[in-house]
Structure 1
Amino acid sequence: MKMVISKLGTAVASAALMTAGLSYAQTVRIGNQGDALSMDPHSLNETTQLSVTGNVYEPLVARDGKLNLTPALATSWKQVSPTVWRFELRKGVKFHDGTPFTADDVIFSFARGSGDGSDMKSYTNDIKEVRKVNDFAVDFETKAPFPILPDVFSFFYIMSKDWSEKNGATKPVDRRKGIENTASFKANGTGPYRLRERQPNVKTSFVRNGSYWGKIEGNVINVEFTPIGNDATRVAALLSGQVDVIEPVPLQDVPRITASGKARVLQGPELRTIFLGMDQKRDELLYSSVKGKNPFKDKRVRQAFYQAIDIDGIQKTVMRGASRPTALMVGPGINGFDATMDKRLPYDTAAAKALLTEAGYPNGFEVGMNCPNDRYVNDSNICQAVAAGLARIGVKVNLQAETKGTYFPKVLKRDTSFYMLGWTPSTYDSHNALNALMRCVDDKGAGQFNLGAYCNPKLDELILQIQSETDKAKRDGLIKDAFAMHAADIGHLPLHQQALAWGVANNVELVQMADNVMPFRYISVK
């Protein structure tokens, strides 16, 4: 393929080509149903954004193509006391602007990611202090023993202190408040690709970093990432050769792409769990016909909603079989998942109606529901199916389905009564979901994505024990107890784990990972 280079990127691309030893540039064009909403790696804890920015920025500890922990900006790590981890940093690494990477950047990044506007506080809430040992070593002191701390860092990216200060980007872009800064549109990481051009909701271009410290397994020089929200348009772009990769493939179009002879569909299980949350904090529910109280504070109402959802019908009709119904907030592949507990309450409209009547709502009520229409597989269709099920028990759902660009700022402000969310534990451990989704909300990052503010102090005690426990058998037992407690409370309404479906042109090779991250470094064009 021919290389298309703007004048601005000519020198960078030329350097990349010489370093790569290639006689011509390889370009891959990726069409995704949604955009990365910002180039700021601390502004939104969402897989699409972290997948895209993770090609430019790097963590201390990364994941390889098989999701195993691997050194990145840290070369090694060890516990020097029960509550202190020491990370030895990689020497000779430079940010894309030529500034050397040192311990000061690590300390700055963790302060930034723990501060106002950050969406990454659930990664840092149990860190007491980050201390500089020398220019290439830092100590992390945790509030209690935290044996899986290195696993926590794989999606926490390091920024340049110098660049951030010079560009007025010392605080994260706050999507909730609509606050932007230079980090929204520009980037300066240490990763294998540099940001070349950012056009929000149009196209974002990247070029291979010719001075990258590590190995880039693929041969791709230029990457063009384009949001294509319409399913039919996205498929047409792949089959016409306008793009080389699409994600996700609309489930109804899998046979068409497979039969085209031009592209193939890569399918596999995803570690993400899709669920519904409910406001359980406000004394009066927003966007509801119920005045003076909050129906979701009543477990009987939450259970009625649960049992009104025909999850098998959603799997068959909406998801075309490409989902796995679940009763838990984590699925297979996540440490602590226990299949013996994964038994949903039965779909039972009569039982649901009886529960609503018992709770004092014999005729049901109206409630607003927030849902994205370009983030998860068939997300708005799932919400429509849920609304139809709830209508059968007298609940009128006023569904607001919208692009994630407006959806996430709204629900992250907790300006919602009833919402959809998907979650892949970044540590591939149950503690991550428990800490971020089910822990009582505080201002340090605990329960940061517990948007309905479900709270059980006894569960919090279990989560802290899970965090500190080093004996695997005991820890697994605690995780089981925690999930049983949450299930008994009907804290959330788990739906399913969705399946991955990527459309890939026949001349492209890449690695599909179960966390739905797409590293450019593994992509090759024949």
Structure 2
Amino acid sequence: MKQSTLLAGVLLATSALSPAFAQEANVTIVLGEEPDLVEPCMATRSNIGRIVLGNISETLTELDVRGDEGLKPRLAESWEMVDDTTWRFHLREGVTFSDGTAFDAADVKHSFERAGSDQITCEISRYYEGIDITPSVVDDLTIDFKTDPAQPILPLLLSLLTIVPSETPIEFTREPVGTGPYVLSDWEPGQSITLERREDYWGEQPAVTKATYAFRTDPSVRAAMVATGEADIAPSISAIDATTDMDMAYPNSETTYLRVDSAMAPLNDIRVRKALNLAIDREAFIGTILAEGTQVATAINVPTTLGWNPDTKAWDYDVDAAKALLEEAKADGVPVDSEILLVGRTGNFPGATETYEAIQSMLSEAGFNVRLQMVEVAEHEQYYSKPYVQDQPVLVGAQHDNSRGDPVFSMYFKYHSDGRQSGIDDSRADELIEKATAATGDEREALWSDLFGYLHDEVVADVLLFHMVGHARVGEAVDFTPTIATNSQLQLAEIGVK
């Protein structure tokens, strides 16, 4: 984007109260991470989803995070089970993509198959790992999904499937075509991304006509941009900066943790994994680097998730116990002195670098040989998803978002032996995941609860850290309230212009 164009957009955004700009509702949103892609099938990655999901690309169903409607129609108007393993979806008529082509069942089928293709590595597909799902077109506006095993919550699972035209090639795109209310009109790498409202959108027109996304890694800079009127919304600022009446705290659904690759020594020894957990003073972060209200985590999902196990207790902070475990393992020949690489994602959350620096210090004090490496999101992926970098033992610092309330959105790809981001190979965990995924009602809840306890207490699968609290700064020219989903999705239609 040329500087003059960007300046004009900023002036419009900061003059939204003026009658002269009443017909042009332009906003500027400042984010901590620039997306490396604007590919719809990658929209479950937070830095991409905040721009793409619900704005450029839409899904069949949508979870109501602002009210109590539960699962709502979006591109599908209704759905029902036709037998124990088949769901039928009835699609919305009269919907068009931004390229003018009509939306139909063939697009849904192609979108699902494209997301799962081994020719590209789509983030969305990880949520369907371990389930055999076969879409089949019934007619232009009807599609069936047959599953093995049975999937009682398939309509909820499909709330993540972004729909693209059937002509979309099986390769990543820089020019996404969707059915959403906005189109990507400009992308200047390193500077900004601009979305403009579609006048031919099938649904209700949002108030925002144009959105410019700016990218600043420093949360204090993001907060200052809103304070000075250079931006309208900073959905993620630090707790330290959240001191004005423009700032809002909100419980998000992110869990911060260290993923342990237990296939490599010394991390393949449970005593070493226990020592990692004992060496970190989690409480010391709360109210200092991280916000008051942050909770110490005992599971990869937040406490409101189905099956969350209240009997699972957080690890004590005990450096002496950690040292003793390392000495015991060393006496048995475990190479506890090996260098362990701690990889953190720059800008993943406010205070990320400071958090991982403190963790490195705590682990070093307990006797670990840890080297910290902070990386951008694209490089982070090579450590976070298989095939892993295997030249040395690695701890991957990451956040996991599950705002949909069921562990099925987490457990297979995080903990199953074949999961794309799993650091363990455990037959009991595999069995619990497979049974819970197909179960319903009380049985489903009990199985997930058993799994949470087993992973934490008996496998010691990872180093769980925190359930996070988010802070957003919202300028006076707009009306916006963050939700549990704001860290992963920010629909422009939810923004009002005063």
When the two structures are superposed, what TM-score results if normalisation uses the length of structure 1?
Answer: 0.85
Report the counterpart of residue 75 of structure 1 in structure 2: 77
Secondary structure of 1:318's aligned partner: coil
Residues 293-322 of structure 1 show CA distances to partners (whole Å, capped at 9, x for unaligned) of: x11111100000000010011223321424
- 1:273 paired to 2:277: no
- 1:139 paired to 2:138: no
Report the counterpart of residue 13 of structure 2 in structure 1: none
Report the counterpart of residue 406 of structure 2 in structure 1: 429
Report the counterpart of residue 294 of structure 2 in structure 1: 323
- 1:234 paired to 2:233: no
Q: Which amino acid aligns with 2:148?
A: K
Q: Which amino acid aligns with 1:336?
A: G
Report the counterpart of residue 195 of structure 2 in structure 1: 206
Residues 384-426 of structure 1 show CA distances to partners (whole Å, capped at 9, x for unaligned) of: 1111111111112110012223323443342271111111125
Equivalent runs, 1:162-177 vs 2, <5 Å: 162=167, 164=168, 170-173=169-172
Deviation at 1:270, TM superposition (A): 0.9
- 1:400 paired to 2:373: yes
- 1:37 paired to 2:36: yes
| Same amino acid, percent of matched pairs | 25
Report the counterpart of residue 27 of structure 1 in structure 2: 26
Partner Cα distance (1:357, 1:137) in 2? 63
Which stretches in structure 1 are left out of the alignment for 5+ residues? 10-21, 165-169, 174-182, 259-263, 283-293, 442-446
Q: Which amino acid aligns with 1:119?
A: E
Deviation at 1:373, TM superposition (A): 1.6
When the two structures are superposed, what TM-score results if normalisation uses the length of structure 2?
Answer: 0.89
Q: Which amino acid aligns with 1:424?
A: D
Equivalent runs, 1:109-508 vs 2, <5 Å: 109-116=111-118, 117=120, 118-125=122-129, 126-162=131-167, 164=168, 170-173=169-172, 183=173, 185-216=174-205, 218-255=206-243, 257-258=244-245, 264-282=246-264, 294-341=265-312, 343-360=313-330, 364-412=337-385, 413-415=387-389, 417-425=394-402, 427-441=404-418, 447-450=419-422, 452=423, 454-470=424-440, 472-487=441-456, 488-508=458-478
Deviation at 1:212, TM superposition (A): 1.4
Partner Cα distance (1:23, 1:29) in 2? 16
- CA spacing shift, 1:316–1:76, aligned 2, 3 Å: same
Partner Cα distance (2:127, 2:160) in 1? 9
Report the counterpart of residue 519 of structure 1 in structure 2: 491
Deviation at 1:45, TM superposition (A): 3.4
Partner Cα distance (2:448, 2:65) in 1? 27
Residues 478-508 of structure 1 show CA distances to partners (whole Å, capped at 9, x for unaligned) of: 1111111111210011101111111100221
Residues 359-404 of structure 1 show CA distances to partners (whole Å, capped at 9, x for unaligned) of: 1169744211100121123222111111111111111211001222
- CA spacing shift, 1:250–1:316, aligned 2, 3 Å: closer
Secondary structure of 1:252's aligned partner: coil
Partner Cα distance (1:339, 1:269) in 2? 19
Partner Cα distance (2:463, 2:292) in 1? 20
Report the counterpart of residue 57 of structure 1 in structure 2: 57
Over the residues paired in the alignment, what is the CA RMSD in angstroms? 2.0
Judge conservation of contact 1:323–1:496 (CA < 8 Å) in 2: yes
Judge conservation of contact 1:356–1:364 (CA < 8 Å) in 2: no
- CA spacing shift, 1:44–1:364, aligned 2, 3 Å: farther
- CA spacing shift, 1:492–1:325, aligned 2, 3 Å: same
Partner Cα distance (1:370, 1:75) in 2? 43
- CA spacing shift, 1:374–1:513, aligned 2, 3 Å: same
- CA spacing shift, 1:298–1:363, aligned 2, 3 Å: closer
Judge conservation of contact 2:124–2:160 (CA < 8 Å) in 1: no
Report the counterpart of residue 18 of structure 2 in structure 1: none
Q: Which amino acid aligns with 2:376?
A: T
Q: Which amino acid aligns with 1:503?
A: R
Judge conservation of contact 2:307–2:447 (CA < 8 Å) in 1: no
Residues 166-217 of structure 1 show CA distances to partners (whole Å, capped at 9, x for unaligned) of: xxxx2243xxxxxxxxx1x21110001111112233111011121211224x
- CA spacing shift, 1:376–1:319, aligned 2, 3 Å: same
Partner Cα distance (1:409, 1:305) in 2? 23
Partner Cα distance (1:375, 1:268) in 2? 17
Report the counterpart of residue 17 of structure 1 in structure 2: none
- CA spacing shift, 1:280–1:410, aligned 2, 3 Å: closer
Judge conservation of contact 1:113–1:172 (CA < 8 Å) in 2: no
- Which stretch shifts more, 143-152 or 56-65? 56-65
- CA spacing shift, 1:244–1:23, aligned 2, 3 Å: closer
Equivalent runs, 1:4-15 vs 2, <5 Å: none
- Which stretch shifts more, 36-45 or 197-206? 36-45
- CA spacing shift, 1:501–1:172, aligned 2, 3 Å: farther
Partner Cα distance (2:306, 2:105) in 1? 31
Judge conservation of contact 1:356–1:362 (CA < 8 Å) in 2: no
Partner Cα distance (1:186, 1:362) in 2? 49
Deviation at 1:137, TM superposition (A): 0.7
Judge conservation of contact 1:105–1:159 (CA < 8 Å) in 2: yes
Partner Cα distance (1:52, 1:374) in 2? 16
Report the counterpart of residue 177 of structure 1 in structure 2: none
Q: Which amino acid aligns with 2:223?
A: V
Partner Cα distance (1:199, 1:56) in 2? 17
Partner Cα distance (1:127, 1:106) in 2? 17
Partner Cα distance (1:433, 1:405) in 2? 21
Corresponding pairs, count: 466
Residues 250-303 of structure 1 show CA distances to partners (whole Å, capped at 9, x for unaligned) of: 221112x44xxxxx1111111111110111224xxxxxxxxxxx1111110000
Judge conservation of contact 1:271–1:332 (CA < 8 Å) in 2: no
Judge conservation of contact 2:417–2:430 (CA < 8 Å) in 1: yes
